[in-house]
Amino acid sequence: MIDIKLIRENKDLVKENIKKKFQDEKIALVDEIYDLDIKAREMQTKGDNLKADKNKLSKSIGTLMQEGKKQEAEEVKKQIAKSSIEIQSIDEELPKIQEEIKKKMMVIPNIIADDVPIGKDDSQNVEAQKFGDPIVPSYEIPYHGDILYNLNGLDKDASGRTSGEGFYYLMGDIARLHSAMISYARDFMIDNGFTYCIPPFMIRSDVVTGVMSFSEMEAMMYKIEGEDLYLIGTSEHSMIGKFKDQILKKENLPYTMTSYSPCFRKEGGAHGLEERGVYRVHQFEKQEMVVICEPENSDEWYEKMWKMTVDYFRSLDVPVRKLVCCSGDLADLKYKSCDIEAWSPRQQKYFEVGSCSNLTDAQARRLGIRVKGEKDNYFAHTLNNTVVASPRGLIAVVENNYQEDGSILIPKVLQPYMGGKEKIEPNK
């Protein structure tokens, strides 16, 4: 949520930002908010003045009665009664207007960074940099689902019986490799100075609407029937929610945290779910990083964070690239964002394995996360980034370490988490 002062002082800037995000249907909301805000502030001023006058008049009644001016005192009482009716009307109407303003403000997108490329959708995202040389071996690399099946590492038939489409069983050394990647990501981030956390895997609706837009919420979140609880789509949700309605001490900033969680997503829409593989599924596991910092430091942290994901995958010998998200591909709360994509030697193209975002104060405004200043309190900035999400990260490691005989070489940094094992052999 943006600062309403931007609409009061520069409506054109807000409208132009909406146009850059190709959300022209929201432009009219800016004038609606502007007019409602004027009405609310005028009503607030009128109500405050009426209450002040009422207090003065109330105090004067005793004096008039002492002076024997009973008739004048009765007239003052009539004035007070009339003011009370007006005050009651304002007290009933003003919260409704303020709630309407908030409702409309919640769908106005955050102001995007000046260096965000303008584009309508993810097809217009911009490659910024590559890390590592993409290699295509001389032999054919099978589809990742087939590789995992041949290693006795995947069973989707069983998960179809227990849970339906979009779920899976990982087994044996493949399940162990998956866990090794998550454990290594945890230690990788701890070594980078982040505090390890395991958060709640369910959150209330006021936290959900604080960390994401309504459209994202409807597309992603699973609701627990009969309760005000949602399954998290990423641990960022509960990690940022941890600071809801808190006033943070300046000397404690930044908060740098890395969190593990399972993640649950509807994954509805045109892209659909994978029938055979595990690229797009309803359930996965993730190591996340979250930073809450001073406003002036968020750009610096953004650069640090996406580079950590690059370093993580390069330590696994997986080539990656940074893809800058264009304006139309940014969720409403994001100031800027980039995807980290891993090389697929089978497809001979890159695919998304992580995303880094700077949300400036958009989440903090919704959740009431403030920093105690010397004079006034102010909103903190929040950032999040994927260290690794598996099974997508698992696919990247499997494809880039696939051997002609069907075996998988285990990256050296993961071998200690695999009991020293160097290779996963195909089923004999």
Q: Which tens digits make up the pLDDT trace of 14-28?
A: 999 999 999 999 999
Contact (CB, 8 A) for 312 and 387: yes
**Residue 396 located in a structural domain:** yes
Dihedral of CA atoms 263, 266, 271, 275 in degrees, nearest 10, equals 80
Q: How far apart are CA 241 and CA 19, in angstroms?
A: 30
Measured in Å, how far apart are the chain's first and last C-alpha atoms?
Answer: 57
Distance between CA 344 and CA 39 in Å, rounded? Answer: 57
Query: In the prediction, which pLDDT does 1 show?
Result: 85
CA pair distance 221, 228, nearest whole angstrom: 12
SS3 353: strand
- Is the Cβ–Cβ distance between 324 and 409 less than 8 Å? no
Token representation of residue 381: 């900035």
Q: Fill in the DSSP letter of residue 75.
A: H
| Whole-number pLDDT of residue 219 | 82
Beta-strand ranges (E) seen in 294-367 are: 320-324, 336-344, 349-358
Position with higher pLDDT, 66 vs 320? 320
Name the residue among 219, 369, 193 with its Cα closest to residue 294. 369
- Is residue 243 located within the same domain as residue 270? yes
169 beta partners: 155
- 316 — phi, psi (to 5°)? -100, 10
The answer as to whether 48 is a domain residue is: yes
The answer on 142 and 283 residing in a single domain is yes
Single residue among 49, 75, 105 that ends a domain in this structure: 105
Domain that holds residue 89: 4-105
Domain-located, residue 280: yes
Q: Among candidates 280, 246, 266, 285, which has minimal Cα distance to 380?
A: 246
Instruction: Clarify whether residues 150 and 284 are in a common domain.
Output: yes
314 with 196, same domain? yes
Which residue among 105, 137, 155 closes a domain?
105
The pLDDT value recorded for residue 375 is 87
Give the pLDDT of residue 169. Answer: 96
In a domain, 77, yes or no: yes
Count up the domains in the chain and report the number.
2
Is 60 exceeded by the pLDDT of residue 269?
no
* d(C-alpha 7, C-alpha 28), whole Å: 12
Residue 322 bridge partners (DSSP)? 129, 340
Residue the block writes with tokens 């959740």: 367
pLDDT at 41 > cutoff 90: yes
The pLDDT of residue 317 is above 90: yes
How many helices (H) and strands (E) are present in the chain, helices listed first? Answer: 13, 18
Task: Identify the pLDDT of residue 428.
Answer: 67
For residues 358 and 239, state if they share a domain: yes
Residues 77 and 163 in one domain: no
Q: Please check whether residue 291 is in contact with residue 253, taking contact to mean a CB–CB distance below 8 angstroms.
A: no
Q: Quick check: 33 pLDDT over 90?
A: yes
Q: Which of 85, 108, 87, 86 is nearest to 36 (CA)?
A: 108
Say what the pLDDT of residue 408 is.
97
The stretch 286-309 carries a mean pLDDT of 98
What pLDDT shows up at residue 73? Answer: 82
Q: Is the dihedral of CA 339, 384, 219, 344 positive or negative?
A: positive
In sequence order, the 6+-apart residues with CB closer than 8 A to the CB of 416 are none
- What's the pLDDT at 6? 95
Measuring CA to CA, which residue among 288, 427, 281, 295 is closest to residue 361?
A: 295
Band of pLDDT at residue 56, cut at 50, 70 and 90: confident
In a domain, 144, yes or no: yes
Say if residue 270's pLDDT is above 90: no
Bin 406: left if φ > 0, else alpha if -120 < ψ < 50, else beta.
left
pLDDT at 208: 94
Do 184 and 60 belong together in one domain?
no
| Percentage of the chain exceeding pLDDT 70 | 98
Q: What are phi and psi of 193, to 5 degrees?
A: 90, 10
Contact (Cβ atoms closer than 8 angstroms) between residue 413 and residue 316: yes
Residue 114 belongs to some domain of the structure:
no
Q: Is there a domain that residue 116 lies in?
A: no
pLDDT higher than threshold 80 for residue 427: no
User: Which residue from 322, 354, 343, 338 is spatially nearest to 397, judged by alpha carbons?
Assistant: 343
- Other CB atoms closer than 10 Å to residue 262's CB: what's the count? 12
- 354-388 pLDDT per residue, tens: 999 999 999 999 999 999 988 899 999 999 999 99
Cα dist from 361 to 3, 109, 175, 386, whole Å: 9, 12, 39, 20
Q: What is the pLDDT of residues 132-177, one digit of tens each?
A: 999 999 999 999 999 999 999 999 999 999 999 999 999 999 999 9
